Amino acid sequence: MTTTTVPTAPGAVPLIGHGLQLWRQPLRFVTSLNALGPVVRFFTGPAPSYMVTTPELVHRLLVTDARAFRKGRLSDSAVPQVGTSLLMDIRFPGLGHYDSHRRHRRTLQPGFHPSRIAGQVTAVRAVAERATAARWRDGRVLRVDRELLEMACAASSYAVFGCPERAAAVGAGLVAHLERAMYWRAVAPRWTDRVPGSHGFARSLTRLHSLVASALAEDAAGGGDDCLVSFLGRTRYDDTGEVLSPEQIGREVVVALVTGTHAAGNLLPWVFHELARHPEAEQRLHGELDTVLGHGRRPVEAEDLPRLTYARQVLFEVLRLYPPVWLLARRALEPVRLGDVELPEGAEVAFSKYALHRHPALHRDPDRFDPDRWLPERARSLPRGAYIPFGTGHRKCIGDNQAVTHSLTMLAAIASRWRLRSVPGHRVRPHARIFLDTGPLPMRAEARR
Ligand code: HEM
């Protein structure tokens, strides 16, 4: 197949191509492409983009042929706003894209070592305990989406800053400003700087950089806590011995906070939504929590997490059905062949984990919530690349362990004491922007007795 025989998604309109479909019903649009072929052409402007729909080709894109691609459009739109960081296309003099990323990643990786993350469990549990004690009451209807986003923000701020006062100063509102403006910058036309949220964005960015500067100053004076900022302040590139500049540390912190808050914080509302719709799964989860934590429900500790196997299956199933990072893209650095398709240099290639995770050829009854898919013997039969909530290859999420540990801890702390019930008449409509969320999610809290 050449690029001329690649199928084009139906319904393109002049000038904006499929932009309206992607804007109005993004999830329906990306899943509809599964049936058209392994590579499908679509348009959001005059130049074509290509959607890859099979695990084999996604694996080629992210692993086998990864050197032939860079990040592309999303990185290009975010860099002028928040600067270059590990998540974007970072470059060092004399090194290409791949080697620049590798050098930077090697330097940051120890900051996310599992032992450091395990050390955060007690603080993350305390975040959930404090929030539920403050606002949750038996029978009260809560905006569960906001509650859990705030908890995720407090948990990731703790991972970043260590010191509880500084973590408290971050606040979900500040992080939400950043996420909102980054989304609008990515989708708004290039000719305008005036995207919704830009004003709050500038203030939030300055505030975050100043929190980082004071944390680094405190560290230099010998009073800092062991946290991501203090690790980043100490780490050095192993080839030159150079340290990261405070500005660079600030940029990495923006990414860690936005993804830690929004990607992880959007996951738990989906978990409670699915548990409320599947009482048998909820009962199994409660049974496991009662066994592991005892009927007195002692607080969850890091050592308990490996024993929460069903809770982990529930989480993995929600990551399949509602992958928070639902769409990703790359740009070809050179002419490249994907399967039977020749792509020119500069081609934008996207893939959707939402579509891949619901592909009927890969997952039986793909729209059904079934945590037992993740029983080891069943999970083993999945083809490579069919389940990649955290990506794969050299750019796989560096915060995957943190996201799973924090989410499991909060799930255990909440579900050991609370059950959340759907509110009759409320329909959940997924919002797919940078991250996939439930939108407003009112649920009734019931204390477990
Ligand atoms: C449920 C939570 C999360 C999900 C689903 C998620 C998903 C992802 C995905 C899919 C990628 C790969 C992007 C690509 O290939 O272009 C990624 C990269 C990344 N994530 Fe996450 N993430 C989550 C949480 C976090 C957290 C908690 C942090 C930091 C504390 C984080 C930091 C990053 C960074 C820095 C990268 C870039 C890695 C690189 O390019 O080397 N993420 N994430």
pLDDT of residue 2: 67
Residue whose CA is at the smallest distance from ligand 1 atom 19: 397
Rounded to the nearest whole angstrom, what is the distance from the C-alpha of residue 393 to the centroid of ligand 1?
A: 12
What is the reported pLDDT for 334?
96
b/e 237-254 (16+ beta carbons within 10 angstroms → b): eeeeeeebebebbbbbbb
Q: Cβ(134)–Cβ(234) under 8 Å?
A: no
The reported pLDDT for the residue numbered 337 is 94
Q: Which residues form the pocket of ligand 1, taking CB atoms under 6 Å from any ligand atom? A: 86-87, 105, 156, 255-256, 259-260, 263-264, 267, 324-325, 328, 389-391, 395, 397-399, 402-403
Indicate whether 241 pLDDT > 90. Answer: yes
Domains of the chain: 54-447 (1.10.630.10)
Does residue 186 carry a pLDDT above 80? Answer: no
Residue nearest to atom 6 of ligand 1 (CA): 390
What is the distance in angstroms between the CA of the first residue and the CA of the last residue of the chain?
62
- Mean pLDDT for the chain? 91
Percent of residues, the chain, with pLDDT higher than 70: 96
Nearest Cα residue to atom 7 of ligand 1: 390
| Structure confidence by residue, pLDDT tens digits, 312-349 | 999 999 999 999 999 999 999 999 999 899 999 999 99
In DSSP notation, 332-357 reads: ESS-EEETTEEE-TT-EEEEEHHHHH
Structure tokens at 145: 């989406």
State the virtual CA torsion across 310, 312, 313, 315 in degrees, nearest 10.
130
Residue 189 near residue 290 (C-beta atoms within 8 A)? no
What is residue 3's predicted lDDT score, i.e. its pLDDT? 64
User: How many angstroms separate the alpha carbon of residue 87 from the centre of ligand 1?
Assistant: 8
pLDDT at 78: 77
Q: What's the pLDDT score for residue 17?
A: 92
For residue 141, report the distance from its CA to the centre of ligand 1, in Å.
32
pLDDT at position 4: 62
pTM of the shown model: 0.94
Mean pLDDT confidence for 62-85? 87
Per-residue pLDDT, averaged over 263-289, amounts to 96
Instruction: Report the distance separating Cα 182 and Cα 176, nearest Å.
Output: 10
Average pLDDT for 188-207: 74
Q: Are 414 and 271 in contact (CB under 8 A)?
A: no
Q: Report the separation in Å between the CA atom of 77 and the middle of ligand 1, taken as the mean of its atom positions.
A: 17
Instruction: Please tell me the predicted confidence (pLDDT) of residue 408.
Output: 97
pLDDT at 224 over 70: no
Task: Give the Cβ contact number of residue 88 at 10 Å.
Answer: 20
- Which ipTM did the prediction report? 0.98
Q: What is the pLDDT of residue 205?
A: 85
Atom of ligand 1 nearest to the CA of 85: 35
Q: State the closest ligand 1 atom to the C-alpha of 396, by its place in the atom list counted from 1.
A: 12
Looking at residues 50-60, what average pLDDT do you find? 96
Cα angle 384-386-391, degrees, rounded to a multiple of 5 = 90
pLDDT in tens, 355-397: 999 999 999 999 999 999 999 999 999 988 899 999 999 999 9
**Could you give the C-alpha distances from 259 to 16, 43, 193, 233, 264, in angstroms and in order?**
29, 28, 23, 21, 7
